Structure formats: structure tokens, C-alpha cells
Amino acid sequence: MWTWGLAVLTLCLVAQPQAAAAQQTARIARIGYLSALSAGADAPHREAFRQGLRALGYVEGQTALIEARYADGDDERLPGLAAELARLNLDVIVAAPTPAVRAAQQATRTIPIIMAFSGDPIGERLVVGLARPGGNLTGHSVTVAEITTKRVEFLKTLVPRLSHVAHLVTPGTPQRLMTETESAGRALGLQVTTISVRDSKALDQSFSTMLRAHVGGVVVSLTLRRHWKDIAEFALKNRMPTVSGPREFVEAGGLMVYGPDYSDLFRRTATYVDKILKGARPGDLPVEQPTKFELVINRKTARALGLTVPPSLLLQADQIID
């Protein structure tokens, strides 16, 4: 008995250091995270991504390390930040939105890149196809025709007398998105004027153009996030209802947003990361489209515009901000 007990004790003493050593040498997943937003504005997205990782068993600081870089709304900073991440010993890079994805892809063709969300990855030549994107990039595309149609429909529902809508975009906006917005307008008997905004000076010019054209409503591209507050203030002053995609637009004073649930996309992005860490090749993982959408209405802005949100829209809304 004594001999057997001694043997067991010896095995335990030997096994404990070995287990501890194995735990200490366990490989930590190094994940790059590139956002065009500021850390504060991006906080809900990053937390959703962390939730997704935790659900898959990753513990930040123990089994996963996130190297985050934020451009603070200045897209011109993205290439430098992407190059900085590419120099690190990373397993994968998560990037959003499209300018951040493009910067990451230009910085590295070897580190796997996951689009937490992007516009039209095929039209922007980020991938060769949705089913098999090829290269080192995959993730989520938020270009869904029904989204654009719905945004225009919601404006018309809110303002039945609406006849002329401006579509504010940036020079890099996919042609497909502009075409779909114009088609949605024609189907509802609306004239749609597409206005490209390159910088703050061009934004002031676009305001003048809209006033001269007697525009009654505005569809705002998410790529204009740096100017959302200015656009919302102009639209409020001139009694123009506005619609965009991310909920941050209504928080900046816009009237309403309709689009993907971006937090859901970031949670789902963790699944892509997990697959790649387990050996999958990004070029073999299909690009997915959103499955959850949300309509958010700023009722305070509606009242300031002198508009009453009809019950039909209130029933469809996922959130009302007062």
C-alpha cells in the first residue's frame, strides 16, 4: 500500500509541473482589430465582438489578445494603422467598415482578414466572389438591395407628399448602391438626386444644391459618418427628414436609420476568427450577408421637423429614441 501510494504521489508531483508548463506555453491567439471610428464610437461593436469570442471559449488576456487601432473618423489614417498591425505577429485581422478593410488588404496579403462589415466587396474588388472570396479576405457584406428600397420607402411613408430626395454619398460609394436608390425612388414616384461629397467644402456646396433643388428628404450614406452631425443639423434647420444605416446616425440627430444589426455582425465575426484559428483558409469561407435588421426612429427629431410618426412605422420600429 505504501509503495502504491508513493507511486501515485510521485506521478501527481510530476504531472502538476507539466500541466502548469503546458498552460503557460499554450498559444495565445493574437487578433488585430482595425476600426475607422473612435474607440468610444466603436465601443458597442468591439464589445459585441468580445461577446462572440467569449461564447466560443476565448478569454481575452488569457487565450486571446486583441491589438486594436482606431482612426477616429479619419480614413486617411487607416493605411498607417493597417501597416502597423501588419508588422505585428498576428493570426488574423478584423476590420470595418470598407475603408478599413481596404487598408488592411493593402497592408498584407498573408494575414487573414475578416470584414466585420463592408459595402459591396465584389464591386469594390475586395473579393472575387461571395461563395469563394479567394485570397486572404472574407467576412460580411451589408449590400442588400432591400435595405436601400426600405430606406426610401420609410421616408415616403413618413412624408407622403415627398417628391424629391437627395442621396448624399462619397466618391467611393459603389455604383450599385446609387443605382438601387434611384430605382427605389422611381418606383415610388420620387426624383432622386445623387450628390457626391468629398470634403467639408463639398458638403457646404451640397447643402446649397439641395436648397436650390427644393429637396424634401435625404438618404445619407454611412461613409459620411464624419459629417453626420452637420448633415443632421442642416436637415433639421431646413425641415428635411433624413435616413441612413447605422444607429449612430440617429444618435447624432438624424431622423431614422434602417439597416443591419451591426452588433450582431460583430458577434458573428468571432465565428470567422475561430474557424481561421482552427485552420480554415479565409478564401474558402463564404462571405455572408446580414440576417438581422433594425429600424430606429428619433422621435425628438421628428417633432422638431413638425412630423408625426405614423402608427405603421412605430409598429415596425425596433427602437424609438425620445
Q: Which residues pair with 118 in a beta bridge?
A: 141
Give the pLDDT band of residue 177 (cuts 50, 70, 90). Answer: confident
Q: Is 267 helix (H, G, I), strand (E, B) or coil?
A: helix
pLDDT at residue number 137: 96
Could you tell me if 121 and 269 are in contact, meaning their C-beta atoms sit under 8 angstroms apart? no
Question: Which cell numbers in the block locate residue 135?
Answer: 485570397
Position 146, amino acid: E
Cα gap 266→47, rounded to integer Å? 9
Give the pLDDT band of residue 109 (cuts 50, 70, 90). Answer: very high
Question: Which cell numbers in the block locate residue 289?
Answer: 450577408
Give, in order, the Cα–Cα distances in Å from 1 to each of 7, 10, 15.
10, 14, 21
pLDDT over threshold 90, residue 113: yes
What percent of the chain lies above the pLDDT cut of 70?
91
Task: Give the pTM.
Answer: 0.81
Same fold for the pair 27-143+262-291 and 145-260+294-321: yes
* CATH number 3.40.50.2300 is the correct assignment for the domain at 145-260+294-321: yes
> Per CATH, which fold does 27-143+262-291 belong to?
Rossmann fold (3.40.50)
Give the pLDDT band of residue 276 (cuts 50, 70, 90). Answer: very high
pLDDT at residue number 23: 42
- Mean per-residue pLDDT over the chain, rounded: 88
Cα gap 118→224, rounded to integer Å? 14
Of 229, 228, 212, whose CA–CA distance to 220 is shortest?
228
Cα gap 120→143, rounded to integer Å? 5
- Domains of the chain, by residue range, sit at 27-143+262-291, 145-260+294-321
